[in-house]
Each structure stands twice: as structure tokens, then as C-alpha cells.
Amino acid sequence: MDNNKYGRKKQPDSNNFIFGIRTTIEAINSGKTIDKILIKQGLQSELYKELQDLIKTHGINAQMVPEQKLNRVTRKNHQGIIAFVSPVPFYDIDEIITRTYENGDSPFILYLDQITDVRNFGAIVRSAECAGVHAIVIPEKGSAQITADALKTSAGALHHIPVCKVKSGHQTLHNMKQNGIKIVAATEKAESLYTDSDYQSPCAIIIGSEESGISDENLRLADDLVKIPILGKIGSLNVSVATGIVLYEVIKQRTLK
């Protein structure tokens, strides 16, 4: 059901967050997937200490913010705590890679580096699911939140493709290389075209944001740097379009003998 079908602008989506210390504690204990928690600077209480322990135990992304930021999300009695609840679960990328190998498949992973626009993220997920990508990896910090808008833009694909949120993207990519996965970075800094790389072996494609591209440390990890040729006057493609082009080159090489 589209709760926003009449065009009412809701920012943020009220179904995407909860507030209050006890409510957040119960949500974590019940197994809900918490995307991020905003905590009022200087917050102190015994109940908050209990929440702190849960945040540490579950490795939840938490940010200390001024009270004004919390008030911009909701004017209700948030008690200094607002938690954003993900509408989809997050998965462990190492388990997915292991299971993919065990199934006799060649891992096909998509790593999104600093993609923060929710609609671009949703569109990328839709293309990735259609292309048979085994998992999408995003860093814990500096990524788009998975909201109702992301679900809608993905046309429901977020319910069908595993999303893995990691603390260190650099370390995760390094671990992939150790597991025999070739790292291919799609970047304007490349000399080779995206069609020049070999994607038939296990591979992970890195896509960076339109604003800042791929981080230098991730570029240094890449086995191949590739680019999409731009022949017109506009210097770049929309990131979701660019992602689709590269993903389907993988499919082309893996399916056409």
C-alpha cells in the first residue's frame, strides 16, 4: 500500500522511525533491524545506559546530535532518542559469498561507495536484482537509508536481494580479494573501457557517487579500473544508469559463450 499516493510530502516517513528510550530498547530486543539511532548530546539516565549496552552489543550505528536535529524529525516526546528502523533485514556478506561458492556459482557482488541518494539507491537495487547480483554491500556510514522511498523506487527488489551493511568497506573489499573475488571499480579515472575487463570469474563491482566518486583507498584495492565512454557534451551518466550498463556487461560475458 502506498501511503503517499495523494502526493503528501512526508519527511521523514513516520513509518520509518521510532522514538523514546524504552521503545527503542524493546525494538532491538524484539529483533527489528535498526538502521541508525540519533542520540541527544549529553543524554544521561540509567535506562539510557541499558540502551548503550545494546547498541554496543549489536553494533548499531549511533550518532550524537543536537536536540534541534531530533526535533526536526519529530516534535513528540522523543526523550532524546530516535531510531530509524530498516524495512528489510541486513545480511552477512561473508556468509553469502561462502554459500554462493558452495552452490557452485561465481560470486557477483555490487559495492556502493557513498551512494546517498535514496532514489538512485532504489533504482540501482532494481537493476542489480534483475541482473542476478548475489548481494549489495554498503558502508555503515555515508550510505542512503533504506526507506519507503527506496523500496518504492526499487519496485520491491529490496525484498529479494540481500543488502549487507559493513563497518569498513575497505576491509570488506580486502576480504573479498582474499576469497578470490576480483575487484572492478567503475570510475572516470580509468583508461580502459568497461567492456575490456573479464567478469566471468568471481567479481565485485564498485560504483561511486556522482558527487565524490569512489574513495581513493578503495580505488587502490581494485584489480581493474574501467569507464563507460561518454560521447556527448554532458560529462557523466546518472549513477543508476551507469550501474545498469556495467552490470549487464557482466551478464553478457557470463551468458554468451
Reduced to 3 states (helix: H, G, I; strand: E, B; else coil), residue 192 is: strand
Could you write out the DSSP letters of every residue in 212-256?
A: TBS-HHHHHH-SEEEE----SSS----HHHHHHHHHHHHHHHHH-
* Contact of 232 with 210, CB cutoff 8 Å: no
Reduced to 3 states (helix: H, G, I; strand: E, B; else coil), residue 2 is: coil
Q: Could you read off the pLDDT of 204-214 as tens digits, one per residue? A: 999 999 888 99
Half-sphere exposure of 240 (CA within 13 A, CB side): 16
Cα 13 from Cα 242, distance rounded (Å): 29
Cα 143 from Cα 151, distance rounded (Å): 15
CA 105 from centroid of its chain's CA atoms: 23
Task: Evaluate whether 14-85 and 93-255 have a shared fold.
Answer: no
First-to-final CA distance of the chain? 43
Reduced to 3 states (helix: H, G, I; strand: E, B; else coil), residue 184 is: strand
Task: Tell me: pLDDT of 1 over 90.
Answer: no
Which among 133, 144, 37, 141 has a CA at the least distance from the CA of 93?
133
Q: Which has more pLDDT, 1 or 243? A: 243
Task: Tell me: pLDDT of 126 over 50.
Answer: yes
Cα 212 from Cα 224, distance rounded (Å): 19
* Contact of 147 with 118, CB cutoff 8 Å: yes
Residue 12: the pLDDT is 43
Task: Tell me: pLDDT of 2 over 70.
Answer: no
User: Structurally, what CATH architecture does the domain formed by 93-255 represent?
Assistant: 3-Layer(aba) Sandwich (3.40)
Q: Could you read off the pLDDT of 66-117 as tens digits, one per residue? A: 999 999 999 899 999 999 988 888 999 999 999 999 999 999 999 999 999 9
The C-alpha cell at 191 is: 583508461
Residue 155: the pLDDT is 95
Percent of the chain with pLDDT over 70: 94
Q: Could you read off the pLDDT of 151-172 as tens digits, one per residue? A: 999 999 999 999 999 989 999 9
Structural domain boundaries in the chain: 14-85, 93-255
Residue 257: the pLDDT is 57
User: Structurally, what CATH architecture does the domain formed by 14-85 represent?
Assistant: 2-Layer Sandwich (3.30)
Residue 238: the pLDDT is 95
Cα 109 from Cα 115, distance rounded (Å): 16
Q: Could you read off the pLDDT of 4-51 as tens digits, one per residue? A: 332 333 344 445 899 999 999 999 998 888 988 999 999 998 999 999
| Buried-state track 223-242, b at ≥16 Cβ within 10 A, e below 16 | ebbbbbeeeeeeeeeebbeb
Q: Please provide the average confidence, as pLDDT, over all residues in the chain.
A: 90
